């Protein structure tokens, strides 16, 4: 594997909460992309963690843009760079609210047009920056400020929506596996056309666990099978090692649920529904990998 560059493009120190996994993701994404990169960031925690004007912690250009416009802005930037024969990487880095809810039509448009860019959604499963309101990506049963009794509906399946656009590369990742994320960003940027990476990004204040557990929480999401790590290259699916192991021998779902305050109050019936959903997702992916779907 290529060595991880020593350079840091996220300067000390951002205003992210202690233990923020989005900061960790940004470190490895920018290491993989290098300095010839423009990030397009719609309103989200990442617009704030850059620090206060006229200073920024980001040592590469960042275009802070209105919520609904991120992928459209990236299309324009990418077309302009390519017209100038420049290979500058254009990467949207957006939250789950900005992706599954507000930015989805611009995302769909850019993928349909075949824009040469990488869209990354870091998913902390709520509107974090404004104090944790539920988003379409909030999972069943999770308490947020707008679902104080737990979210009654399930998480929107963003990956299947993106898959319907047949992108040349799409992958899932998790902040607890930064080297895997690094590799996926490198691979995505080596392919022309619209690419997509969906990162599960545990958030201490939002998920209500203490900051030192950020890596453990991400690993538990993968080890229980709640979050499946995979890549789909030109339609061919590969489930990655940690998830293969989890499918063979999953950790109990309770281990993931019980460590998070947002799941306090999940009933046994809800837990069963979560388990079924998780199993259905795994079965679908395994069948696809084996070519029987």
**Interface with Mg ion (CB under 5 A):** 95-96, 124, 128
Quick one: which of 29, 32, 37, 50 contacts another protein (CB under 8 A)?
50
Q: Does 107 bind ligand TPP (CB under 6 A)?
A: no
Sheet holding 230-233, edge to edge: 62-65, 37-42, 89-95, 117-123, 194-200, 169-174, 230-233, 236-239
Residue partners of 94: CB distance under 8 A and separation at least 6: 41, 42, 44, 70, 103, 119, 120, 121, 122
Tell me the three state secondary structure of residue 110.
helix
Q: Which is closer to ligand SF4, CB of 17 or CB of 104?
A: 17
| Residue corresponding to tokens 């930064």 | 178
- The alpha carbon of residue 260 and the mean position of all alpha carbons in its chain are separated, in whole angstroms, by 19
- The alpha carbon of residue 96 and the mean position of all alpha carbons in its chain are separated, in whole angstroms, by 7
Closest approach, Cβ 156 to ligand SF4, in A, equals 19
Q: Does 52 bind another protein (CB under 8 A)?
A: yes
Q: Which is closer to ligand TPP, CB of 73 or CB of 237?
A: 73
Closest C-alpha to 204, from 191, 186, 217 = 217
Tell me the residue nearest to ligand TPP as measured from the CB: 95
CB 57 within 8 A of CB 49: yes
What is the distance between the alpha carbons of residues 257 and 281, in angstroms, rounded to a whole number? 18
Residue-level length of the chain: 293
CB 262 within 8 A of CB 143: yes
What is the distance between the alpha carbons of residues 45 and 17, in angstroms, rounded to a whole number? 10
Closest approach, Cβ 205 to ligand TPP, in A, equals 11
Q: Does 12 bind another protein (CB under 8 A)?
A: yes
Closest approach, Cβ 98 to Mg ion, in A, equals 8
Q: Does 167 bind ligand TPP (CB under 6 A)?
A: no
Closest approach, Cβ 286 to ligand TPP, in A, equals 29
Instruction: Name which of ligand TPP, Mg ion, ligand SF4, none residue 171 binds, using a CB cut-off of 5 to 8 Å depending on partner kind.
Output: none
Instruction: Name which of ligand SF4, ligand TPP, another protein, none residue 245 binds, using a CB cut-off of 5 to 8 Å depending on partner kind.
Output: none
- Per-residue binding string, another protein, 180-219, x by CB under 8 A, is ------------------------x-----xxxxxxx---
Tell me the chain's radius of gyration from C-alpha atoms. Answer: 18
Closest C-alpha to 239, from 175, 285, 180 = 285
Stretch of residues binding ligand SF4 (CB under 6 A), selected from 35-43, 166-174, 187-195, 201-209: 201-209
Quick one: which of 20, 199, 239, 246 contacts ligand SF4 (CB under 6 A)?
20
Quick one: which of 43, 91, 120, 278 contacts ligand TPP (CB under 6 A)?
43
CB 180 within 8 A of CB 1: no
Binding site for another protein (CB under 8 A): 6, 8, 10-16, 18-21, 23-24, 27, 49-59, 178-179, 204, 210-216
Binding site for ligand TPP (CB under 6 A): 43-45, 67, 95-98, 124, 126-130, 135
């Amino acid at each position: 594997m290529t060595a991880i560059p020593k350079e840091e493009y996220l300067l000390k120190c951002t205003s992210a909460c202690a233990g923020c996994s989005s900061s960790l993701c940004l470190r490895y994404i920018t290491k993989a992309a290098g300095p010839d990169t423009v990030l397009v960031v719609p309103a989200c925690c990442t617009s704030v963690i850059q620090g206060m004007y006229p200073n920024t912690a980001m040592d590469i250009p960042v275009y802070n843009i209105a919520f609904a416009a991120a992928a459209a802005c990236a299309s324009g930037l990418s077309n302009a760079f390519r017209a100038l024969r420049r290979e500058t990487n254009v990467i949207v880095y957006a939250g789950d609210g900005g992706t599954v809810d507000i930015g989805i039509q611009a995302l769909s448009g850019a993928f349909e047009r075949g824009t040469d860019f990488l869209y990354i959604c870091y998913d902390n499963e709520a509107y974090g920056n404004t104090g944790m309101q539920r988003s379409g990506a909030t999972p069943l049963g999770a308490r947020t400020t707008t679902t104080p009794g737990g979210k009654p509906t399930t998480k929107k399946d963003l990956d299947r929506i993106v898959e319907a656009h047949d992108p040349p590369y799409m992958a899932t990742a998790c902040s607890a596996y930064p080297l895997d994320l690094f590799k996926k960003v490198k691979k995505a940027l080596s392919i022309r056309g619209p690419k997509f990476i969906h990162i599960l990004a545990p958030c201490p204040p939002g998920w209500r666990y203490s900051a030192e557990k950020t890596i453990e929480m991400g690993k538990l999401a993968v080890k229980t099978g709640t979050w499946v790590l995979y890549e789909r290259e030109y339609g061919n699916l590969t489930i990655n090692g940690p998830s293969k192991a989890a499918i063979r021998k999953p950790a109990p779902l309770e281990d993931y649920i019980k460590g998070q305050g947002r799941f306090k109050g999940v009933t046994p019936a809800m837990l069963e529904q979560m388990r079924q959903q998780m199993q259905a997702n795994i079965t679908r992916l395994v069948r696809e990998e084996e070519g029987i779907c």
